[in-house]
Amino acid sequence: MKKILFIIVLMVVAIGLKAQTIHDQQFEKANFYYNEARYDTAVVIYQGILDDGYVSAPLLYNIGNAYFKMRDYPMAILNYEKALKLEPNNEDIKQNLAIANALITDKIEPVPEFFLKKIWRNIGNEFTADEWAIASLVFIALVLIVLFLYLTARTKGLKKGMFFTAILLILITLCSIIFASQKHSYMNEHNDAIVMMPTITVKSSPTSSGTDLFVLHEGTKVRILDKADNWNKIKIADGSVGWLPSSCVTRY
């Protein structure tokens, strides 16, 4: 019985490893084509890896680079943003995204962010959603241990120490749960989008007869606030809000 289980485990691991190596080989092949300046081929291979259900920030980043080299800046920005979603603090991705954003038509001055919010966001970006989830579990475990110690403490000093430790740990745990939750919802919401149409007029209402508010060009990042039929209510970095046909943007 034990032997059979061991063999099964071994087989699963072997298949997993094999699949990993095939895709890694594909990845290296695509890198080779990229270095040979055959960007279109590279994109096709990278995309094949994505289609097989494998994903990573470097993969999306490399796709973005290939599109950038082909001067398809909207697609490059889309893939950089996707990569940045997975690794929010990666400097390479940030830099290339900034370069790509400098090459598109629209230049939008973002609304300045409140510094505490920025600090909060930066701490949140330190870890991925799963890391935060695991961290929250670890902290919950720690809180329970400390709570147990508090409850079972015989002496007054020990009880006192455990009490304050527990309070601190509970606060940290709550934060980690909030981070995990925020990250989780951010990863799953897909409410950011990139404008893919060369030029599009933002309307005041979700109808084509609505008043023209402003014009956006390809590559601009928008945040989707609401949906109505085939229209999206969007907000751009400077805070302007309007409606766009949902076919004009690609969510990520």
Stretch that binds another protein, among 1-9, 48-56, 213-221, 243-251 (CB under 8 A): 48-56
Give bridge partners of residue 34 from the DSSP assignment.
none
Stretch that binds another protein, among 1-9, 59-67, 189-197, 243-251 (CB under 8 A): 59-67
What whole-number distance in Å separates Cα of residue 201 and Cα of residue 204? 10
Q: How far is the CB of 126 from another protein (least distance, A)?
A: 16
Q: How far is the CB of 60 from another protein (least distance, A)?
A: 10
> Tokens representing 99?
């370069």
Rule CB under 8 A: choose which of 6, 148, 164, 214 binds another protein.
Answer: 148
Nearer to another protein, 152 or 230 (CB): 152
- 3-class DSSP assignment, residue 74: helix
Nearer to another protein, 96 or 246 (CB): 96
Give bridge partners of residue 11 from the DSSP assignment.
none
Is there binding between residue 136 and another protein (CB under 8 A)? yes
Rule CB under 8 A: choose which of 152, 199, 204, 211 binds another protein.
Answer: 152
Q: How far is the CB of 34 from another protein (least distance, A)?
A: 6
Nearer to another protein, 127 or 243 (CB): 127
- Let me know the angle formed at the C-alpha of 89 by 71 and 74, rounded to the nearest 5 degrees: 20
| Residue list 83-102, contact with another protein (CB under 8 A) | 92, 95-96, 99-100
Residues across the chain = 252
The two beta strands, 249-251 and 212-217, are: unpaired
Is there binding between residue 133 and another protein (CB under 8 A)? yes
Instruction: List, as own/partner pairs, every contact residues 34-40 make where C-beta atoms lie below 8 angstroms and the sequence separation is at least 24, other chains included.
Output: 34/62, 34/65, 34/66, 34/69, 37/69, 39/66, 39/67, 39/69, 39/70, 40/66, 40/70
Sheet with 249-251, edge to edge strand ranges: 212-217, 199-203, 241-245, 231-235, 221-228, 192-195, 249-251
What whole-number distance in Å separates Cα of residue 112 and Cα of residue 50? 35
Stretch that binds another protein, among 144-152, 158-166, 216-224, 233-241 (CB under 8 A): 144-152
Residues making contact with another protein (CB under 8 A): 20, 23-24, 27-28, 31, 34, 49, 53-59, 61-62, 65-66, 68-69, 92, 95-96, 99-100, 129-130, 132-134, 136-137, 140-141, 144, 147-148, 151-152, 180-181, 183-184, 187-188
